[in-house]
Every structure is written in structure tokens, then in C-alpha cells.
Chains A and B, each alone.
Chain A
């Protein structure tokens, strides 16, 4: 039951971009008395699902599954004190630095398998002119995107695969680097 209530509150927040008031929670969950709502809110607040601001209005807590980053797990349970020192971030914030320059790409083929980028993976890339030798970059070769390590030798920049079966690509004229790989996503 609690699960359904949580979903309803989450859906309300998603749709209206604000937390419901107590009377709106009563409507959402089908409660008749304000007291029942207070009890529910107390329970959700104890879990951290919602929080209250100094005036008593509700704020979203871990509603969207902000996972707690725990302190160093030495042995046994992490101490709650350590937990409080840390702020949390969403997976989006963790994976994406400059959102407005970030794009996705689907990988095909095993040319980067030793770098942990497999056939079928999705990579997050950032369009930037600020790339360094050693970065995994997305470059344009013969009118197609290719993903490789950026290397440099006496003749200039070239692209190196992370797979022994493939050979490095030396650009004939100009090497056009479009973006730098920032993260790999693999969903099972």
C-alpha cells in the first residue's frame, strides 16, 4: 500500500513540479482524515522519501531514487554519521558534465573492446575543441563516425583502436575530431 502512495506522490510531483499539500495527499490516497495524512507523511519523512521545510511544507526527498553514496565501507554497516557528510547526486549529474554539449552514440563492432566499450553499448560524448592525446574521441573518417584513442607521433595525430585485430587509422589529410567520450552506458 505504501508503495502505491509513494507512486502517487511521485506522479503528482512529476506532473505538477511541486509537492502535494496535505489535503491533496488525502485526495490522492483516499484518506478522509487529516490525521491519517499526518501519520503517512511522518512515516515517509522517517524513510527520507519526503522532507519538511521549516514552515512544514513538503519537499521531495529521495523520491527519485537518489542513491545514497555511502562512506568507505570498512566492515559491517556504514555509520550514519559518515552518510550525513555527503551530498548526493543523480546518475545524470554523475555522468554528464556539460549537458548542452552532450550527445549519445551507439557503438557497433569490437574495435574498442579492450577499453571496455563493447558492441551495442551507448556512449555519452561531449562536443568540445578541448581534447587531448590519450582521450577516447569520436572522429569523422570517410563520412562515418568512428570511436578510437587519439594518439600522436612524428607525423601527427592518428587514431588507435583498443583491439589487436584492428590497425591504427592514419588520416590522409585532416583529422576531424567531433567529440570526446565521457561515459559508457550498458543496460542489461
Chain B
């Protein structure tokens, strides 16, 4: 078969992916959990991450707790400890940065890195560098990672998935066609369900078939992102690494599930209000203000009720958005139904550092309100999000988010060291349990 390219690694792109990250974090610091099916996400009521033992037993992401108990009765269900997961995530990036400055922090458990041209300063070839990185990560974090090395990001992602867990796969340009031959287009990074269905209609099923099409064909049927994927599949790196940290948001979403489900309008509204307050606070932190807001409720049987409101001017003041919510709440809340979660989505975010002068002289008033919120945010930053809140959210603050075992706190928050507080802890992960 004809290769797609004769080059080996014109660019050396790495994709590094932690194996079952959250569950692995738990297993690595708690030896009793090793070799046992571990599932995190107890506080959400659905599996967020599961160890390979749990995967083998048939547990899937998003599976409700009750179902997990039937498919895998000996599963260990744990509440997520995001504090420790993010500490370990930072270590992942730091360790990769020992080898190259070009690192894209793609998500909490994976990153891309560009090691092109670093053989001489690092005194090793690309393969050895990938091996060394994997070795450092595995020993220093105490669980395994899957690493893919390839001429482009899209192919690196295919490579890291090739052998999981704990694989190291190197795909050189000249071997590319062998890997793409039997790979479905649905498994390519950036190709979703709709595009897969469309490609199917066009008679393209495998990644190799897509890569073999000519540029004109791709450009005729698709837009730019697909053209980029096509280049990358052919071993030409065109999607750059995004090394700058995220500074802004396209939209801000806050959603919280509560149990038991409720049909009390005041309680459900208070839950929504709490989400609105938290979303607005996040928007204010980034100096953003939404022009559109979507409120939604999820019923007991996972149905959605939602409504969108267009604002007359962008605002991130909680009380103003609450006023909108009050007006439309009765249109999405039906007395006959029980609800399990509420959410708010702030979109069309505008920069709110500059304030437009308007006809009715509201500007001065807004400036005053802004001062009030600045004070509120300062208090919440310092003493915790739940120190001050609007009366509308009162009922939601009265109770724990979940009754019963779902309300369990992660072990780290219960095992405080001397001098640590609820809000401030040492930035070093703690092995759990006591050591004798």
C-alpha cells in the first residue's frame, strides 16, 4: 500500500493522557484501592471517572450510582476531590515542561507538547524523550500515562489512544497509513457524530479514506476545521499548540444537582438563584457581562425545561439577572413535576470594563452597584462563596446539596493538618490514611 508521506517526524508532537485520571489519583494515594474497581463522582450521583477494573466490570462514564451497584457490586464509590486532582494535574504539566517549553494544557488530565528540534539540547532522540517523560510521570505521580508521538496533534491523539493503559505509541509519517486504515472517522479528534454521518453519506468511513481525498474535495464539502484535520491526518502539522493560559470565556455555565428531587417552587427557585449568583461572580471575575441568559431545569426523569432571556444591556449583577429569572420561572416550572437540578448559562459575553453612557443616566447608578458587588466579591473570595448571598438563594443554603451518602465530603477535607483551614491548605497532595 502507498504511504501517505515518506517523512518520518517532520514535527514531533506529543499527546499525553492520564489513564483513568481521577480514579488513578485515588488509587495512587490509597493502597487499599489498588486493583479494586474505583469510581469517582459520588457527589454528582453519576460516574465521573472509573478505574480500569471498574471499566472491565462494565461501569461507564455517566452511569447512575444505583446502576453501578448492580453491574459492579464491589465498586468503591468516592466523592470527587478536585483539590487533589488539580494539584496533580499541575504536576503533569510541570513534568512535561522539564523537556519542552511548548505545552498546551488541553484539559485536566491531558496535554499536548511540541518537542521538535530538541534532540540536541536534551541529548536524546524523540522516542527516548517520550519514554523519559512517561517514566518521570509514572514514578512521580504514582500511576500510568499513555503517550502518543506523531507528526501532528490529530495523529498524536490517535497514537496515545492506540495502547491504553500505559502505552507509548510512535506513529511515523511513513507508517501513518497502516494506523489509519482501519480507524473509523468517528475516532478522529474533532470529528463528531454529525460529521461522521455526513462523511458516511459521502462514502468515507475510515480515516485513511478521508486522508486520501484531495484538498479540493475536502474544501468543496467542508469548512476550514475539517481541512485542517485532513492536513493533520496526512502528517502535516497545521493546528498550532495553544500555550497561553485561558483568559476569557465564550460562555459561563453553572449547574447543580440536588437530592432528593423537589417539587417545591421556592426551593427549586432558590437552587437556581444560587447558580445565578455563582455564575455572575465568575463573570465579574473575568470582567464579563452576558447579553443573553438561559435558565433551565432538569426533571426527575432527565427531561429539560429551558428559557432564554435577552437583556437590554449586558450585566453581571446577580440581582438584575434574578429579576429576569423571577419573571420567567413560572413558565418553566410545572407544579406536577419533580426536579433534580437547575442551571444557568450566560452567553454573548461582553467586556464590561467600559461602560457606555446611556440616555437615561443609569450609568451613575451602575457605578454605585458595581462598588457594592466589588465588596461582596472581596468577602466571598476571602471567606468562601457561601459567606454572603442574596435572600433568593437562602433556602438552597439551608440544606446540604445532597441528603444521605451523596453528601459525603472527600477524605482530604476531613483530614486537615494542624494549621490548615477549610479554605486554605498546603499545596502538596496528601497520601490518605495513616502510616504506621
Contacts and interface: CB of A to CB of B under 8 A. Distances in A.
A100 B435 contact: no
Interface string B1-40: 0000000000000000000000000000101101000000
Contacts, number: 78
Given A100-B94, A103-B29, A129 B139 contact: yes
Interface string B392-436: 000000000000000000000001011100000010111101111
A35 interface: no
Interface residues of A, number: 30
A127 B435 contact: no
Contacts of B108: none
B140 interface: yes
A108 B435 CA distance: 6
Contacts of A129: 139
Contacts of A147: 435-436
B433 A144 contact: yes
A178 B34 CA distance: 13
Nearest to A148: B436
A145 B434 CA distance: 7
Enumerate the 8 nearest inter-chain pairs by beta-carbon distance, A residue then B residue, closest first: A108-B434, A101-B140, A143-B32, A145-B435, A100-B91, A140-B31, A105-B431, A109-B436
Contacts of B95: 100
Contacts of A140: 31, 34
Contact of A146 (B29, B418, B435): B435
B435 A105 contact: yes
A61 B139 CA distance: 37
Nearest to A188: B418
Contacts of B433: 144-145
Given A100-B91, A105-B435, 14 more contacts: A100-B94, A101-B139, A102-B428, A104-B429, A106-B417, A106-B434, A107-B435, A111-B436, A122-B417, A127-B141, A140-B31, A143-B31, A145-B31, A178-B31
A180 B40 CA distance: 28
Nearest to A96: B428
A105 B430 CA distance: 6
A99 B91 CA distance: 9
A135 B77 CA distance: 35
Nearest to B435: A145
Interface of B: 29, 31-32, 34, 91, 94-95, 139-142, 415, 417-419, 426, 428-431, 433-436
A99 B431 CA distance: 15
Contacts of A123: 435
Contacts of B91: 100-101
A178 B140 CA distance: 9
Contacts of B141: 101, 127
A104 B142 contact: no
A145 B31 CA distance: 7
A9 interface: no
13 contacts: A101-B139, A103-B428, A103-B430, A104-B428, A104-B431, A106-B435, A109-B436, A127-B141, A129-B139, A140-B34, A143-B34, A145-B434, A187-B418
Contacts of A66: none
Contact of B419 (A107, A124, A187): A187
Interface in A6-64: none
Residue from B91, B142, B418, B428 with most neighbouring chain A CB atoms (10 Å): B428
Interface string A115-134: 00000001111011100000
Nearest to B32: A143
